[in-house]
Amino acid sequence: MTRTNLSRNPWRTAWRRLSRNRTAVVGLFLLAAIILACLSAPLWFDYQRDVVGVNVSQRLRIPAEGRPLGTDELGRNLLARILWGGRISLTIGIGAVVLAGLAATLIGTTAAYYGGRTDSLLMRALDVLLAIPAMLLMITFVTIMAPTQTNLMLAIGLSFVPAMARLVRAQVLSVKDLEYVAAVRAQGASTARVLVAHVLPNAMGPVIASFVMYIPGGIMTISGLGFIGLGIQPPTPEWGAMLASGRAYIRDAWHITTLPGLAIVLTIIALTLVGDGLRDAIDSRMSDR
């Protein structure tokens, strides 16, 4: 059980711990650099010209001057496409986690707070979703709807909800019986007020840290789906699909398959480091491991 010190601001404490964690800081810088590069991509590259504009005479160029990461099989600037692909992957990954987080908080809190029948009903329903591997759930989804950015975000978010909701439920359960909360309740505060003002702020710290750890999974799923050709459709650049399209040229134009993969690896490492650091910072029990 987490003994959260309620008199001090837990977030400030967490931040202090995080900033002292060297690997987490490295992760934070890496993540910031990746996000910044992706966000600033439109400053250097024109979407029409560099990202989707085909230039047949420049195809399959290996990394060299002027085109730091070379060109792909249609002569498109690989750096521009990787950066734009990052915008897509990060948006979907983060968006899915935010949406799933909201849904999971609602479901998990309801289940934990009301308990009994409500609880077991909700948990059973989530078990159903949990029983289907994310990739198979995605395949079911793309059978019935177009793989647009929004749809994929929703589908991936949905696949996260069961595990996340269980987490919220466990945390809320552990907080709701604290003496302090019981005291507030005894004073006659409304359920909603108890939840929003007292239970959630104390329960959510560790939960949010764990939520961050789902973003890499989302990015993996998106790229996996793109790789098998069922994800974001061309010409929109997507890391998994970019990699797949370079397979035919794997011998000479190795960069088309290698570099988008490296982008995935770097992004996921950054997110993992930050997530680990966050968890350690917020959950003091974990930090002494």
> Footprint of another protein on this chain (CB under 8 A)?
48, 52-54, 56, 59, 73-74, 124-125, 127-129, 131-136, 139-144, 216, 220, 223-224, 227-230, 233-235, 240, 243-245, 247-251, 254, 257-258, 261, 264-266, 268-269, 272-273, 289
Query: Which among 223, 242, 277, 210 is positioned nearest to 31, based on CA atoms?
Result: 277
Cis status, amide bond into 237, omega within 30 of 0: no
CB of 145 to another protein, least distance (A): 8
CB atoms within 10 A of CB 89: 28
Comparison of 203 and 222: residue with beta carbon closer to another protein = 222
CB of 200 to another protein, least distance (A): 28
CB of 210 to another protein, least distance (A): 15
Comparison of 190 and 233: residue with beta carbon closer to another protein = 233
CB of 241 to another protein, least distance (A): 9
Q: Cβ(82)–Cβ(257) under 8 Å? A: no
Q: How many CA atoms lie within 13 A of 160 on its CB side?
A: 34
Q: How far apart are CA 62 and CA 54, in angstroms?
A: 16
Comparison of 83 and 222: residue with beta carbon closer to another protein = 222
Comparison of 174 and 257: residue with beta carbon closer to another protein = 257
Question: What b-and-e string marks burial along 75-84, b requiring 16 or more CB atoms within 10 Å of the CB?
Answer: bbbbbbbbbb
CB of 12 to another protein, least distance (A): 28
**Token pair 């890499």 in the structure block, residue:** 216
Comparison of 113 and 249: residue with beta carbon closer to another protein = 249
